[in-house]
Structure 1
């Protein structure tokens, strides 16, 4: 029985501060209290800066989290078959280079699928469409007259280049996930959460202080409007003064601790370092894409020049127009 009584006493002791804080909070919301301990201006300024930092992280993460989705730039209107996604373009080009007949070329395009389908990125989709177009032109040249041969070659080269760009994009995405998203998520879910908990402790300590003052003044009952019952601080007992001082000390300690936590969050260099990593990853990708396409462009230009020099090469002799 004694153990049960002690258990009930502990429950009551832990519940009473919560109930007092809740009651004080409700009174403040309904304007039923005149005395409210004000937070220091510097503390309020820190809170605003922390809130701004949190919002910055949430907004940028809501956008950049797309880097975890491989198909973020994959056109929704594309309908690629499982066969289309079976092998990468480079492998297909190698198989096609060894094909000597149309049947062998078709077999190369529909070779046994890999265990993992090819990436669904915009660049990979362009690569697959370009290679398919190249093969259509080759297969349409049944007479071996070299019809549209230059365009077919250009499309094949473009397909290989676009696949390389797509792989560079995937490398960028992985780097951003590891060096930016992970860091900013950690700041949002760890550092800023620590600051939020510290601020919550300050708010609880303030509510507890104001509730203690209100109770000692004899106005804890929200239905009691007889202010004459309240008495000045000179009439407090030693026990009442000690209770208020204890609540004040807790409020001061929690405020100082929260200030330290918030300053650490605001002063940490991690967010800026993570942002620099994001920019570096994007820069490297665009540089790589530029290099790949810069290598391709002269080759395609040369094919175009060759075609202009020999325009009749793409027209089968049987249908060339004879001038009279």
Structure 2
């Protein structure tokens, strides 16, 4: 019992802390909210079912955006598919595979070839994507085979690895182009919807809740709702004294609070409908799919060009090997 008396006293001090002991709107709403949380509010204004349905739909839209962005935000992180076990040096990342191949084409000795592979960088470090890592590893493997090749002609596998390296670099560049498109055409749009449009709806809903709490607080006050302490071990309860009709002043105060509640509710309904009806999220999703399609199309075209070349090298090597066997 003493605990509840102390709690009631604290609330009273808080509510009457403004000038002249008048209850501020914020304090009044806080008092009403506390009563509701403790189950002491006699009446609570109910929101229309259609409004509650809109709230649920907006909450679902918000959850979808948060879930999708948690995954797709990786498109803004360049090395999202970069193997964590790879140990590449600054020199490895210094030049593009294309640049190294051009330098290697003019090398006339193993020393010059090694110098070409470790040439100082001419721009920023090369991208850390899986395709670029494949390209660098393939080119390094190609040169290792070339340096140890003592027979006449080219080493078929070394040649194939170099061509594969060049192709994978192009695939990696296509992936980076995809990521840039997704960042600008999908991530930007969905972040705007989440952080702006849905946030506007959240703010409007908060205004509705404030208006409702104010309305119910006014009703409780003008109708004479007070807090009283129950028997020992009991909880505080709200008693309503409605022995006489409300005064004109009190009725006007309730009507004013009701008008504000209706206005805020109508505004929130409009904002939520606008958020739910906008085609922007679907348009952004279409852009995401288009960027992915373009990337996979380019990757397919690049590898489709490469595949018959590698097949041709394989056929030549098998034919050469068969010829060698026939001679023996």
Assess if the C-alpha contact under 8 Å between 1:183 and 1:271 holds in 2.
yes
Deviations 1:76-113 (A, max 9, x none): 00000111001000111111111111111111101111
> What is the distance in 2 between the residues matched to 1:31 and 1:249?
26
Assess if the C-alpha contact under 8 Å between 1:32 and 1:222 holds in 2.
no
Gaps of 5+ in 1: 1-7
Which residue in the other structure is 2:15 paired with?
Answer: none
Match for residue 151 of structure 1 among 147, 157, 165: 157
> What is the distance in 1 between the residues matched to 2:74 and 2:57?
27
Which residue in the other structure is 2:6 paired with?
Answer: none
1:24 and 2:35 matched: no
> What is the distance in 2 between the residues matched to 1:268 and 1:222?
50
Deviations 1:146-194 (A, max 9, x none): 47x1100100000000000000000000000000000000000000000
Which residue in the other structure is 2:187 paired with?
Answer: 181
TM-score, normalised via structure 1 length: 0.89
Match for residue 71 of structure 1 among 75, 79, 91: 79
Alignment of 1:195-234 (within 5 A): 195-221=201-227, 223=229, 225=237, 227=239, 230-231=241-242
* 1:268–1:222 Cα change, 3 Å: farther
TM-score, normalised via structure 2 length: 0.88
What RMSD in Å do the two structures reach over aligned CA positions? 2.1
Which residue in the other structure is 2:249 paired with?
Answer: 239
Alignment of 1:283-322 (within 5 A): 283-311=293-321
Gaps of 5+ in 2: 1-17, 230-235
Which residue in the other structure is 1:122 paired with?
Answer: 130
1:36 and 2:47 matched: no
Assess if the C-alpha contact under 8 Å between 1:218 and 1:230 holds in 2.
yes
> What is the distance in 2 between the residues matched to 1:242 and 1:130?
82
> What is the distance in 1 between the residues matched to 2:103 and 2:123?
18
* 1:133–1:312 Cα change, 3 Å: farther
**2:78 is paired with a residue of what secondary structure?**
coil
Larger deviation, residues 101-110 vs 166-175 = 101-110
How many Å apart are 1:221 and its aligned residue?
3.4
Match for residue 69 of structure 2 among 57, 61, 66: 61
Which residue in the other structure is 1:3 paired with?
Answer: none
How many Å apart are 1:277 and its aligned residue?
0.3
* 1:137–1:225 Cα change, 3 Å: closer
**1:53 is paired with a residue of what secondary structure?**
helix
**2:123 is paired with a residue of what secondary structure?**
coil
Assess if the C-alpha contact under 8 Å between 2:228 and 2:238 holds in 1.
no
How many Å apart are 1:34 and its aligned residue?
2.2
**1:72 is paired with a residue of what secondary structure?**
helix
How many Å apart are 1:235 and its aligned residue?
1.0
**2:80 is paired with a residue of what secondary structure?**
coil
* 1:19–1:299 Cα change, 3 Å: same
Which residue in the other structure is 1:5 paired with?
Answer: none
Runs of 4+ in 1 over 6 A off after TM superposition: none
Assess if the C-alpha contact under 8 Å between 1:211 and 1:220 holds in 2.
no
* 1:282–1:226 Cα change, 3 Å: closer
How many Å apart are 1:226 and its aligned residue?
7.5
Assess if the C-alpha contact under 8 Å between 1:123 and 1:166 holds in 2.
yes
Deviations 1:195-238 (A, max 9, x none): 000000000000000011001111143648583x6116x61101
> What is the distance in 2 between the residues matched to 1:235 and 1:72?
70
* 1:52–1:225 Cα change, 3 Å: closer
